[in-house]
Amino acid sequence: MPAEPSPSPPAVRTPPTPLEEAAVLLAWLRRSGGRWLAADAPGADAGSLAAPSRPGPAAGSHGARPAARTAPGNTGKQGSPGPDVGGVAAARAASAPAIPLPERVAALARMADDVASCKRCRLCETRTRTVFGVGSPTARLVVVGEAPGADEDRQGEPFVGRAGQLLDRMLGAIGLSRDGDDVYICNVLKCRPPGNRDPHLDEVGACRAFLDEQLRLLKPEVVLALGAPAARTVLGTHRGISSLRGRFLTSPAGWRVMPTWHPAYLLRQPDAKREAWADLQKVAAALGLSIPPRA
């Protein structure tokens, strides 16, 4: 009787080759416009592409990313955020390993594709385009807003309407730009709520994992949370923005968070711009940025 053939060994998934990783990176760059590498392009205009001046890498800076810019995903526990005094959550953030840039870019690209086909909540029925996020995969600052509006829904990019124009001026006031190496912008929700209404809790819950993973991959030094929905989601609290803004708070996942007024609110209440400017100055100090003189 012939011997039975031995079973085939299970298929082993081999890691991607450098060429495959490069292909993924190139695809992501094409999708994002490649703006974060513009300063490295041959013949680039140094004057127009120069990054804002800041001190060289130090402990806890972007240059020391493996030791200082990491954190696990947000646990989502509700309660009061802790003051910015380090603690267990911040220790987790400081000790987690850095994610290599090619893996980070590839993971963001895969997640953007997942968001584009997402049907986790009812917003998929009314959206025109999903709005994943825009900016540098090496961002030191991640700006988190509430949800896309009508302009964002049409263009597929966060903060492109009047509030976005104000946000650009706010970032520029501390020497940053959405087209630079240090900024990434996204929202809690990746789809527009009809009529620009407030997000529903089930919609936030359905979209929450995407934001958590964006933060885990990017590992920013500072999260700027714009408005109550963004601050509550990142910090895991029910408190209002007026009681949260103005100081750094540590999220359950270890992120250093500065809550502040949403630009849309500032357009309606210009008197609050003074408080928002004070918050931005604290962000600039935390990132070691030199605030450019006002014209």
> Does residue 162 lie within any of the structural domains?
yes
CA-CA-CA-CA dihedral for 210, 211, 216, 217, to nearest 10:
70
70 vs 139, which has greater pLDDT? 139
Q: pLDDT averaged over the chain? A: 79
Give the three-class secondary structure for 188: coil
Instruction: Note whether residue 23 is domain-resident.
Output: no
User: How many CB atoms neighbour CB 74 within 10 A?
Assistant: 23
Closest by CA to 170, choosing from 157, 188, 183, is: 183
Least confident of 50-59, 194-203, 271-280: 50-59
CATH of the domain at 269: 3.40.470.10
Angle between helices 101-116 and 201-218 (to 10 degrees): 160
Q: Is residue 101 included in any domain, yes or no?
A: yes
pLDDT band at residue 82 under the 50/70/90 scheme: low
Show the domain range for 107. 82-287
In the chain, how many domains are there? 1
CA angle 138, 140, 142 (to 5 degrees): 100
pLDDT of 217-267, one tens digit each?
999 999 999 999 999 999 999 999 999 999 999 999 999 999 999 999 999
Q: In 10 A of CB 222, how many CB atoms? A: 20
Structure tokens at 94: 């400081």
Residue 170 lies in a domain: yes
Residue 112 has pLDDT above 50, yes or no: yes
Q: What is the pLDDT of residue 280?
A: 99
In a domain, 129, yes or no: yes
Tell me, yes or no, whether 243 lies in a domain: yes
Cβ atoms of 59 and 140 closer than 8 Å = no
- CB-CB contact of 252 with 74 (8 Å): yes
* pLDDT at residue 85 greater than cutoff 80: no
pLDDT grade for 88, boundaries at 50, 70 and 90? low
- Name the more confident of 120 and 83: 120
Phi/psi-derived region of residue 58, left when phi > 0, alpha when psi is between -120 and 50, beta in every other case: beta
Higher pLDDT, 4 or 290: 290
Q: Cβ distance 187 to 227 under 8 Å? A: no
Pairing of strands 256-260, 222-226: parallel
Q: Smallest Cα–Cα separation from 191: which of 135, 116, 261?
A: 116
Q: Does residue 205 lie in a domain region?
A: yes
Indicate whether 35 pLDDT > 90.
no
CA distances from residue 61 to 71, 74, 78, 85, 146 in whole angstroms, order as listed: 14, 22, 29, 17, 27
pLDDT for position 140: 98
Q: CA–CA separation, 214 vs 142, rounded Å?
A: 9
In a domain, 231, yes or no: yes
